[in-house]
Chain A
């Protein structure tokens, strides 16, 4: 690890645009080309190096201690970093990238409204069909933890690579755990969110890993950035 502070920013999309805009509002211009380059610098803070990474990878790199600070989603931190207890800390909620991670089932399942219903269906599905109920998701860890807390067992997690919401209609899964901001994609795919099926409400956050081993300049840049981003007044934040 370099002695400079590594700040990871999302490498594409609105998450990247909003992150860059937020830093600029805080007085730090992002230099370097997010879309094409992998590295950048921060105007006004010499000890900072910017790494442009996919948001999911930012959460993983934070958990691994390979970057010191990062902007990513609560959902991704929950998925990739929570098993490493205390390794990643959320420093500031940034007010953009709002979305919920939810459990959704086919709308035709008129008898299933709650996680308790899903548990009963999961328990009897095997007897009726000779296979386990499948849950398609990009969030296997979040799914397992949430289902365990709700007492749901007997299901199988299926890794979803593409459009998770299409899995039930395509017959590759019965249930999905996915991220949704308005719910319209779910509705269009004839799915419904369970009444107590919101796993978490996500938004973009500034998160930190351990900074042991960093020099003085990088440490002070760390403190400055944490403070600056936590302090951006709500009205100055990028619109979701």
Chain B
């Protein structure tokens, strides 16, 4: 791509002013985070989809850098390093270039280099109110830019984690399932494994676990130490004997633990298959929880309140779709997620999207979780979509 011609630049500039008006009028302060960013946080937290598409390189000093694949992480870093950083409220807007490799080649809908416009709302104490504020502004911005025919896809990772918390199982199983939410295949495998009788361990592991049966942590450490000493195996790789022994004890406990209740496993699977009109989907989930005697009332109430607030703000729920699975592509989301999309030739094309990501700040250096909700617009795509509408 040689670059933008003056007509395209002018159209994008005009669109940028409309979007900036919407965000600016709502009190969001303009920030300009750096384009060059340290690579690791993106590579570790953004999930495989973004990771494989990030331009990573080392500079002459040996530092691993990347061209930012989105502006959310850079804006979080700005908040931590230049902003309050302490969890107090801040509302930022941004507009600037982001970069993503396009494995199938570049086109108007999939540029390698694009302008992202968006907002991040940090430290909002009223969770649903913050989520609705951000989503409503995102919708207002794309409408101001001229988009009329679109669909809103909604999801809620909070509902999913509430479901996992409510189903009785050892905490480490819960962690494992939560961890795999973003990888449907690994998730299903893990769920099936947890709900099945454990296979007897074979080979070396079998005798090891047998010896550890009934051992307390101190005894387990001793056994592991003896075993390594007996074979002369040096201990390296950062982990201590205590960590190795502790995980071996977990494995022994897993062997003895009753498999995950079949009905509960089915309820989790059924939940992930829920999709439809947000109100109907919520009713389905409520029903599912009641039938399986799973108490997720608080999460359901939050979801209900959010939908009411969205409707109060004039968001048309009839053109919204709730999908329990939605949110599986960006790992840092922790709660409400949404996307503004249009139908393309090969399925839904996202034009804008965002959600809640309360854990990200801590991952990049904050002392604890900081409430965060954001929304980003893919401005080139939005322009293509608006022009397509105008043409048809």
Contacts and interface: CB of A to CB of B under 8 A. Distances in A.
B236 A169 contact: yes
B186 A150 contact: yes
Interface stretch (A8-16, A54-62, A120-128): A120-128
B103 A83 contact: yes
A110 to B, nearest CB: 6
Interface stretch (B11-19, B150-158, B173-181, B265-273): B173-181
A110 B44 contact: no
Given A144-B51, A156-B40, A123 B235 contact: no
B364 interface: no
A151 B186 contact: yes
A168 interface: yes
Contacts of B190: 116
A159 B44 CA distance: 16
Nearest to A129: B238
A78 to B, nearest CB: 14
Secondary structure class of chain B's binding surface, majority of residues:
helix
Contacts of A109: 237, 239, 244
A125 B104 contact: no
Contact of A168 (B47, B175, B237): B237
B234 A190 contact: yes
Interface residues of A, number: 39
Given A108-B235, A120-B176, A190-B233, A154 B244 contact: no
Given A83-B52, A108-B233, A168-B236, 8 more contacts: A106-B237, A108-B234, A116-B190, A119-B179, A121-B239, A125-B238, A153-B179, A155-B44
Contact of A85 (B40, B44, B103, B331): B103
Contacts of A144: 48, 51-52
Contacts of B224: 110
Contacts of B175: 123
A133 B238 CA distance: 9
A194 to B, nearest CB: 12
A111 B234 contact: no
B73 to A, nearest CB: 16
Contacts of A128: 239, 243
Given A106-B237, A150-B186, A121 B44 contact: no
A125 B240 CA distance: 11
Nearest to A107: B233
B251 interface: yes
A203 interface: no
Interface in A91-135: 105-113, 116-117, 119-121, 123, 125, 128-129, 132-133
Contacts of A212: none
Given A107-B233, A132-B40, A169-B236, A148 B48 contact: yes
A145 B53 CA distance: 12
Nearest to B240: A128
Interface of B: 40, 43-44, 47-48, 51-52, 101, 103-104, 175-176, 179-180, 183, 185-186, 190, 205, 208, 224, 227-228, 233-239, 243-244, 247-248, 251, 331
A112 B248 CA distance: 9
19 contacts: A83-B103, A105-B237, A106-B235, A108-B234, A109-B239, A109-B244, A110-B208, A110-B227, A110-B228, A116-B190, A119-B179, A144-B48, A153-B44, A156-B40, A168-B236, A169-B234, A174-B239, A175-B237, A190-B233
A118 B101 CA distance: 29
B256 to A, nearest CB: 16
Q: Please provide the 5 A-B residue pairs with the shortest distance between their CB atoms, ordered closest to farther.
A: A151-B186, A106-B237, A111-B247, A148-B48, A151-B183
A117 B47 CA distance: 19
Contacts of B247: 111-112, 117, 120-121
Of A117, A129, A153, A168, most B-chain CB atoms within 10 Å = A153
A140 to B, nearest CB: 9
Contact of A108 (B51, B101, B236): B236
A233 interface: no
A171 interface: yes
Nearest to A106: B237
Given A83-B103, A144-B48, A171 B236 contact: yes
Given A119-B179, A129-B238, A153 B331 contact: yes
Contacts of B44: 132, 153-156
Contacts of A132: 40, 44
B251 A111 contact: yes
Contacts of B239: 109, 121, 125, 128, 174
A145 B48 CA distance: 8
A84 B51 CA distance: 16
Contacts of A190: 233-234, 236
B225 to A, nearest CB: 10
Contacts of A123: 175, 179
A125 B104 CA distance: 35
Nearest to A157: B43
